[in-house]
Amino acid sequence: QEAFAACQAAQPALNAFTAFDEEKTMAMAKAADARLARGEGGLLEGVPLAIKDLFAVEGVDTSASSNILKGFKPTYESTVTSKLWDAGAVFVAKTSMDEFAMGSSNETSNTGPVVNPWKAKDSNESLTPGGSSGGSAAAVAADLCFGATGTDTGGSIRQPASFTGTVGVKGTYGRTSRWGVVAFASSLDHPGPFAKTVKDSALLLQAMSGHDPKDSTSLPNDVPDFAAAVGQSVKGLKIGVPKEYRVDGMPAEIDEVWQKGIDWLKAAGCEIVDISLPHTKYALPAYYIVAPAEASSNLARYDGMRYGNRVEGKDLVDTYEKTRAAGFGHEVQRRIMIGTYVLSAGYYDAYYLRAQKVRTRILQDFHDAFDKVDAILTPAAPSAAFGLGTKSDDPIAMYLNDVFTVTANLAGVPAMSVPAGLDKSGLPLGLQVITRALDEGTMFKVGAAIE
């Protein structure tokens, strides 16, 4: 009840939420109380969670922050949220996001930008919480709930976590089911949690994970006890520091926080190893071909016929055109155009196929690196949170936010952002820990050593 009231009270200032359902929240809370009274609590019994508007929650508006789905109430529950409810968690609100998860600032949401609860010292400027999972990050950062769900296709959990001083995790590709999550780029989409601590994030990822026959790319592997890794010694672990992540124009403070992380891990007994991930510089261009290509295909379903909103035209094609013109915002339209272009006959080999080859090289880079090291440490984002409106007219500047995060999506390896300190204006900065596929345990161990 307190979490629900806190979310509602914070909504005018933060604009982090897109839907509430008081009846549902109170019914779930009551049921959790009853189970606890009978001594039957699950892993997350009674824990209030906010849910990114990309996850289908039965009977609650699920719009992907897009006008084309405005008012859509699914008749089913996503696998991830149903696992969370099975573990005893309580739904508190749906959270705002960049439309269809395309963006890095939460400014393309059809309900307007989310405001980061953090402000720079001596400034009243409103800052972005990052994106696309900005509402979830803001809700956790402002202590409105204990955790939230996000999705990470190119950094949409880790970059907002870095901007808001929260912990943000994506597991191995396929650990968490995509069933019931509105699709952006299916081979890159990773549902995952936001939390206040590494331990909480491990518990949340554990509850969200597991094989799902309804998602053909869901992993069949058993889910280990992720939380058990938290607090274990990192002594003797080899930590790779990739030179390609020292990008031009990166603020000195990012470099400093990175060095601080290296020093902490060294002091904890880790061995620091300089490594190279030589194809890193091609990751962003490859991502911005593969992701729009898959998006253009996934978003073809919003034609005004099956579900979602419709604008009637004079015939079928006119109806499609009017529906999609009114329903999709500019960034989504840009992605659809890029995607259909790179998939079109004549351009497919030059763009899409080449990007897929680059993707294989990036995966190979990680395989080679993990022959030598147990985990890789990098900054999570190339800057601290920036002002609302400062990059919204410049798509390239916006895409550059993802320079450190897209590689782990292209390779499908686990990665997390852990709060590591403040810059000189008092804004949080995160460090990223990346490990081999299926080795989330080492990621949580190293993450907890930095925290």
Interatomic CA distance for residues 307 and 296, integer angstroms: 17
Residue 52 among the catalytic residues: yes
Site residues for ligand GLN, 241-300, by CB under 6 A, read 291
* Half-sphere exposure in the Cβ direction for 352 (13 Å, CA): 18
- Map tokens 């996850």 to a residue: 55
**Beta carbons of 398 and 392 less than 8 angstroms apart:** yes
- Nearer to ligand GLN by C-beta: 331 or 440? 331
- What is the pairing mode between strands 238-242 and 271-275? parallel
- Please, which residue, 398 or 448, has the CB nearer to ligand GLN? 398
Please select the residue that binds ligand GLN; options are 107, 152, 200, 303, rule is CB under 6 A.
152
Residue span binding ligand GLN (CB under 6 A) among the ranges 86-94, 97-105, 199-207, 362-370: 97-105
Strands 167-170 vs 415-422: parallel, antiparallel or unpaired: antiparallel
Q: According to CB under 6 A, which one of 48, 88, 103, 412 is a site residue for ligand GLN?
A: 103
DSSP annotation of 20: -
Kindly determine how many residues on this chain lie close enough to bind ligand GLN according to the rule CB under 6 A: 14
Q: Which of 78, 96, 132, 383 is catalytic?
A: 132
Query: What are the residues whose beta carbons fall under 8 Å from the beta carbon of 14, sequence distance 6 or more?
Result: 114, 115, 117, 138, 139, 142
132 preceded by cis ω (within 30°)? yes
Q: Out of 88, 154, 174, 191, which residue is the one contacting ligand GLN (CB under 6 A)?
A: 154
Binding mask 157-176 for ligand GLN (x = CB under 6 A): --------------------
The span of 16-24, 145-153, 225-233, 364-372 binding ligand GLN (CB under 6 A) equals 145-153
Query: Shortest CA distance to 150 belongs to which of 10, 295, 53, 277?
Result: 53
Query: Binding to ligand GLN (CB under 6 A): which residues in 123-142?
Result: 132
Q: Applying CB under 6 A, which part among 147-155, 209-217, 312-320, 443-451 lies near ligand GLN?
A: 147-155
Q: Is 156 a catalytic residue?
A: yes
Backbone angles phi, psi at 211, to 5 degrees: -65, 140
Residues in contact with ligand GLN by the rule CB under 6 A: 101-104, 132, 151-156, 184, 291, 402
Residues with a known catalytic role: 52, 132, 156
